[in-house]
Amino acid sequence: MKTELSANEIMQVSGGMPLWFAVGGTISTYNWMLDQAEAFGRGLGLGFYDGMHSRR
């Protein structure tokens, strides 16, 4: 059994995408999700803050 993978085998393993593309896509998706969560949290916080102040 050989340990090193050929480029062709890496393509097959990663579903036809180059491995670096799969890794880069995962990282950018993760960063995008963090941005979305942060924006959502900020919007939620501002909405809550505004609601508290308008109730007074």
Q: What is the mean pLDDT of residues 45-53?
A: 74
Taking only the tens place, the pLDDT of each residue in 2-16 is 667 676 665 566 566
Overall average pLDDT of the 20-26 stretch = 75
**Which residues, 6 or more positions from 15, have their beta carbon under 8 angstroms from its beta carbon?**
22
Report the alpha-carbon distance of residue 27 to residue 49 in Å, rounded. 33
Alpha helices (H) in the chain, listed in sequence order: 7-13, 19-55
Task: State residue 8's pLDDT score.
Answer: 67
Tens of pLDDT along 27-40? 888 888 888 888 88
At residue 16, the pLDDT reads 61
Our measurement of the distance from residue 3's CA atom to the centroid of its chain's CA atoms, rounded to an integer in Å, reads: 30
10: which DSSP letter? H
